[in-house]
């Protein structure tokens, strides 16, 4: 008899770049999500950064991956500027990487949203649906995910992603990197 699937309650935290305590709030949100979601069966953590280096708006994930690799080289990260994981290669990469059932995955990606959410970072329970903002059907990834709203969605999404300000994406990538490094400290021996 198959085991019932554990449904993760949806919990969301939204932090804005301009918030005075953005780094502390994001670190706390990551740590809180890990405390909620981490199970005894998880003995390994992987940070999966999704996006492409060929689009300013969509390079948030690979930027975070590269920053994490620079600041914590022993950290288990996949998806960097040099080796991006994006819509075209994600299913293949998932098969090649052969994610273990006991692996806890934090997925990171850029997204489009409402004008008043541009510059916000969300920490969410449950899997990421990569490519949903540009109508791609890709497999869900992760036990939790972090998304950065890099621009306004709703019309000509590919063009909007191409014309996103790099300074905004870079600021968001630096904040997400700090949030992950501080929020994961208790869960990763490489960061202790």
Q: What is the distance between the terminal CA atoms of the chain, rounded to a whole angstrom?
A: 41
Note the helical H segments in the chain: 22-37, 60-71, 90-97, 157-162, 166-183
Residue found under tokens 């999966």: 48
- Residue 142 in any domain: the answer is yes
> What pLDDT score does 11 carry?
54
**CATH number, residue 171:** 3.40.50.1450
This prediction's pTM: 0.87
pLDDT band at residue 153 under the 50/70/90 scheme: confident
Q: What is the pLDDT of residues 72-114, one digit of tens each?
A: 998 889 999 999 998 888 878 877 776 666 788 999 999 999 9
Burial (CB count within 10 angstroms: exposed 0-12, middle 13-18, buried 19+), residue 20: exposed
Determine contact, residues 118/152, Cβ cutoff 8 Å: yes
- Residue 1 in any domain: the answer is no
- Residue 191 in any domain: the answer is no
Q: Phi first, then psi: what are they for 152, rounded to 5°?
A: -85, 135
- How do 120-125 and 103-113 pair as beta strands? unpaired
- Residue 169 in any domain: the answer is yes
State how many domains the chain has: 1
**Rounded distance, CA 99 to CA 18, Å?**
36
- Residue 53 in any domain: the answer is yes
Domain that includes residue 55, residue range: 12-185
Between 24-28, 47-51, 135-139, 180-184, the lowest mean confidence (pLDDT) is in 135-139
């Amino acid at each position: 008899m198959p085991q019932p699937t554990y449904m993760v309650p949806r919990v969301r935290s939204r932090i804005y770049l301009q918030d005075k305590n953005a780094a502390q709030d994001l670190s706390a949100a990551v740590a809180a999500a890990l405390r909620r979601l981490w199970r005894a069966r998880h003995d390994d953590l992987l940070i999966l950064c999704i996006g492409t280096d060929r689009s300013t708006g969509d390079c948030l994930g690979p930027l975070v991956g590269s920053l994490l690799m620079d600041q914590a080289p022993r950290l288990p990260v996949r998806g960097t500027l040099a080796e991006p994981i994006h819509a075209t290669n994600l299913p293949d990469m998932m098969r090649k990487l052969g994610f273990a059932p006991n692996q806890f995955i934090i997925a990171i990606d850029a997204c489009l949203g409402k004008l008043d959410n541009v510059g916000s970072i969300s920490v969410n329970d449950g899997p990421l649906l990569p490519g949903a903002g540009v109508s791609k059907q890709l497999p869900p990834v992760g036990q939790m995910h972090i998304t950065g709203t890099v621009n306004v969605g709703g019309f000509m999404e590919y063009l909007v992603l191409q014309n996103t300000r790099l300074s905004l994406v870079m600021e968001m990538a630096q904040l997400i990197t700090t949030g992950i490094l501080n929020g994961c400290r208790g869960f990763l021996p490489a960061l202790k």
